[in-house]
Structure 1
Amino acid sequence: MDKAYLQRPTARAAQLRAATKSQTPSGRRDDESNCRSETTDELNKFKWENTYKMDPDNLLSENLVQSTMRQAIKELIAGEDEDFLETEGRGHLCAKLTDDIKHRIKTEYANTRYRFIIHVTIVQDFATFSIGSRCLWNDNTDNHMTVSIPFGDSYIVSTCYAVYFE
């Protein structure tokens, strides 16, 4: 199959080009001054043709994802004392860790069709705690990784679900 064919933009991109040509400098169309028009930013977001690819080229490396998660957590809590969780707030720290881990993993696997779901929980030591999850996925391509790191009187538990988007 021709690669140029696979990378052809859809008809929507052509419609957006035609719509922006008839716009005034203020961004409005000549014929519809009160209607919201598409911007040139939408032209940059092409929708590519389907490749009908059902399996990834390379499977996800569990060790690489786990080391990325471990490194992100350790860098954020490095040099902090145990009071850090109380002053920073556990919820805020979980959100910060989730965003950081997701960003790092996405940059590592930028050109793949994997979708990543990150879940971070902070649990106090000696607390009774159970984490359970259910997913409907393909056992051949999808995976999950979990990292648990002790910090003071707590544990930071991070789970990454990697789902291949067909």
Structure 2
Amino acid sequence: MSLPLQVILMPDIAEDRATQSLKKRGSMSSLSSHEFRRKDLHGRTKDSMSTVSYMDEPSQRDDVSRLTVQMENTYQLGPTKHFPVVTVNHILKDVLTNYLQEEAYEPELCRQMTKTISEVIKARVKDFILPRYKLIVIIHIGQLSSQSIFIGSRCLWDPKNDAVSSYVFRNSSLFAVANVYAVYFE
């Protein structure tokens, strides 16, 4: 990929010298040069050359400019495809059942499992490639004994475009609650 470096508009002698040096360096091609005539203040016609030179290998400065991506406004206020809540519910059920069916509650193991399960769920949901949806995956795993737990969450969102999927799993020694929040980013 070639990147434009400079545009040169020069009059008379400086133009001739620049043209010769560009030809020697090989920076000027017939496709990137445009010659045109213009009238001088005294009514004479002058030849001018507009040259764009290109560079094949990017510099460090170009790497920095590639990191910041400028996106154009699309003026799209809603998603083209809505978040598939039912499909994500099936994913949650499948992942939690596969990972936790035979597990007993151990605090350290459950701490690691929450990280692993949340990454697996996020990867599987991202396979749908829903543009402009930000995903938040939260997993709670706890010991199942004679206690109760309340898990609450609050979100400020647009109910028409944003969605949540949730699934509760239980076995003989633990419980797990998985939530996936899909927030549409305009």
* Common fold by TM > 0.5: yes
Residues 19, 38 of structure 1: 8 Å contact kept: no
- The TM-score with structure 2 as length reference comes to 0.62
1:34-73 superposed matches below 5 A:
37-39=61-63, 43=66, 46-73=69-96
Q: Residues 19 and 151 from structure 1, CA distance in 2 versus in 1: closer, same or farther, beyond 3 angstroms?
A: farther
Give the number of the structure whose residues are more often strand, by fraction: 2
Please say if 1:107 is aligned against 2:127: yes
List runs of 5+ in structure 2 lacking aligned partners: 6-53
Question: 8 Å contact 1:20–1:39 — kept in the other structure?
Answer: no
Whole-angstrom distance in 1 between the partners of 2:118 and 2:176: 11
Shift of 1:94: 0.6
Once residues 19 and 152 of structure 1 are traced to their aligned partners in structure 2, the CA distance between those partners, rounded to angstroms, is 66
Match of 1:158 in 2: 178
1:116 and 1:163 in contact (8 A); partners too: yes
* Post-superposition CA distance 1:99-130 (Å, at most 9, x none): 1111110112x142111101000122232210
Paired letter, 2:100 = I
Q: How does 1:1-166 map to 2 (within 5 A)?
A: 21=57, 23=59, 37-39=61-63, 43=66, 46-78=69-101, 80-82=102-104, 85-86=105-106, 89-108=109-128, 110-125=129-144, 126-166=146-186
Structure 2 distance, partners of 1:114, 1:137, is 12
Q: Based on CA coordinates, which of the two structures has the bigger radius of gyration? A: 2
Matched-pair identity in %: 24
In 2, distance between residues paired with 1:14 and 1:136? 44
How many residues of Structure 1 are paired with residues of Structure 2 in the alignment? 135
Measure, in 1, the Cα distance between the counterparts of 2:117 and 2:154: 22
TM-score by length of 1: 0.68
User: How far off its partner does 1:58 sit?
Assistant: 1.9
What SS is found at the alignment partner of 1:60?
A: coil
Give the CA RMSD over aligned residues.
3.0
